[in-house]
Amino acid sequence: MVVNEKIEVLHRASIDILSQIGIEFQHEETKKILLDAGIEVKNNRAYFTEEQINEYMSKAPKEFIVYARDEAFNMRLNTEELNFTPGYGCPKIMEVDGKIRNALFDDYLKFAELVHVSPAFKINGGILVQPNDIDAKLSAAAMVYTTMKRSSKCIMGVSGNQESTEHIMHLASILFGGREELKKKPRIITLISTLSPLKIDRNALETLYVCTQYNQPIAIAPGPMAGGTGPISPAGNIAMANAEILGTLVLTQILNPGNPVIYTFAATTMDMRTCNVSIGSPGFTLQAKYGARLAKKYGLPCRSGGGMTDANGITAQSGFESMMSLFEAYQEKANFVMHSAGILDSFSSMSYEKFVMDLEIIDRLKYYFKELEVNETTLALDAIKDVVEGTTFIEHIHTVQRCRKDPWFPSISIRRRLMPGEDPNQVLYDSMHNRLEEMLRAYKKPEIDGSIEKQLDDYMLHLGMNKEIIGKI
């Protein structure tokens, strides 16, 4: 069976799941909305026909732009262009020596600055890390508020419940000229996670409702673990994850036809020896590939791949696992690559060193996947002739003219002979720390209108944020 045939079989299986097994929406109002739209609901489960799925999928935009405060960072979402986001959701920081500590708000500020100065990203924010020293009820708004003040890139939101999402949208309304102005353009992407197998909980649905009221993009993200919360066979896990996306997409388009949606496929595997999630396995990457291809079939912007690893430190394992996952994202033209920098230990920890290591991988892949320039100049026949007749390539004018264009230059690699007794790992870590310090020195807080900044500050004071913390941002 060729790949296209497999995609069709996976699609048909997802349709069968939606029509015969259905999805449980854990929210009474949702059931009424679905019934009013002609969707069958029985025993708390919604059942979708193929015709209904096709009808509502056709309403989702195939391409849209997320607008940044600085238009230089506007991000186009379609089926071809790659866009990267940093790590998301980790509650811990892993130090270079393997020690693990709680992530703090100061870490969030530092990562926000690193993301802002990195050319790899047009988007900032989300749960760069989950700060342990911020009240949980305040943290979602605090993270988005920090992103708005410390960066002028597109904004990644934070999912929660209705109240926390309303706070975030209120902040966005302040920043972008009011509620009605916010509705006019996609500004803030919010991740909506399903509850595998085949459920969506109340908090996710409340977040979805608020985002659709403001016409803001929804990233629908099922993450079933093969063998745990999904079938152990990759094909079954893919089909079920795809069904969860399609069912949630239908609801999104019922609520707000034309609401931007990202097909955010995140099916994972489970280590059957430990029952822990495994995102560094080739099983994860294989599923990501087929998720991306299903999204291409539907013509929707997709999430795929990332700097994924199960490694517990900056090791060879963290390198080869992340390279494999990011290679897949490039190869399949993923359009929204989440967790592309900083992740360690199966989503559990962020690492500053891993962050710059992943940026290095992204740069390598960008060089590899660019089109080879083939023309009279690059074929260099005159240079070859001259060298044969008595000169050298290193001193030839062709080399002089192109020596800063053609090679790829690493930012954290070791390309020299080590001195006796030097630890190659320590030399590499020193290179990483130098790169981090260089990036942080380059950071400059983007300008923001003083009256808008005061409104943002006042709103966070109203929510209970400490003045001292506001002063840091």
Identify whether the C-beta of residue 270 lies closer than 8 Å to the C-beta of residue 277: yes
Nearest alpha carbon to residue 405 among 453, 373, 443 = 373
Amino acid identity, position 396: H
Nearest alpha carbon to residue 319 among 354, 273, 282 = 354
Neighbours of 357 (CB within 10 A): 23
The full 3-state SS of 219-243, as one line of letters, equals EEECCCEECCCECCCHHHHHHHHHH
The DSSP bridge pattern shows strands 100-102 and 92-94 to be: antiparallel
pLDDT in tens, the chain (473 residues): 777 899 999 999 999 999 999 999 999 999 999 999 999 999 889 999 999 999 999 999 999 999 999 999 999 999 999 999 999 999 999 999 999 999 999 999 999 999 999 999 999 999 999 999 999 999 999 999 999 999 999 999 999 999 999 999 999 999 999 999 999 999 999 999 999 999 999 999 999 999 999 999 999 999 999 999 999 999 999 999 999 999 999 999 999 999 999 999 999 999 999 999 999 999 999 999 999 999 999 999 999 999 999 999 999 999 999 999 999 999 999 999 999 999 999 999 999 999 999 999 999 999 999 999 999 999 999 999 999 998 899 999 999 999 999 999 999 988 888 899 999 999 999 999 999 999 999 999 999 999 999 999 999 999 999 999 999 99
Amino acid identity, position 330: Y
- DSSP code of 195? B
Q: For 60, phi and psi rounded to 5 degrees?
A: -75, 135
- DSSP code of 20? I
Q: E strand or H helix at 45, and its extent?
A: strand 45-47
**Taking each helix axis from N to C terminus, what angle separates 162-175 and 202-213, rounded to the nearest 10 degrees?**
20
Query: Distance of CA 175 to CAs 64, 71, 74, 339, Å?
Result: 21, 14, 16, 26
**For residue 277, what are the β-bridge partners?**
270
- Determine the pLDDT at residue 416: 87
- Determine the pLDDT at residue 334: 97
Contacts with 292 (C-beta within 8 Å, 6 or more apart), sequence order: 265, 302, 304, 305, 328, 332, 333, 334
Q: E strand or H helix at 47, and its extent?
A: strand 45-47
Token pair in block for residue 294: 């299903």
d(CA 278, CA 226): 10
Q: E strand or H helix at 24, and its extent?
A: strand 23-25
Give me the DSSP letters along 279-299.
SSSHHHHHHHHHHHHHHHHHT
Identify whether the C-beta of residue 381 lies closer than 8 Å to the C-beta of residue 343: no
Neighbours of 402 (CB within 10 A): 15
* CA 104 to chain CA centroid, nearest Å: 21
- DSSP code of 337? B
* CA 189 to chain CA centroid, nearest Å: 10
d(CA 406, CA 264): 35
Please give the domain boundaries of the chain with CATH numbers for all domains. 3-57 (no CATH), 64-246+257-369 (3.20.20.480)
d(CA 231, CA 268): 11
Neighbours of 87 (CB within 10 A): 27
Distance separating the N- and C-terminal Cα atoms of the chain: 55
Nearest alpha carbon to residue 150 among 201, 95, 105, 209 = 105
Identify whether the C-beta of residue 263 lies closer than 8 Å to the C-beta of residue 298: yes
Neighbours of 32 (CB within 10 A): 11
**In sequence order, which ranges of 132-267 are alpha helices (DSSP H)?**
136-150, 162-175, 179-184, 202-213, 234-255
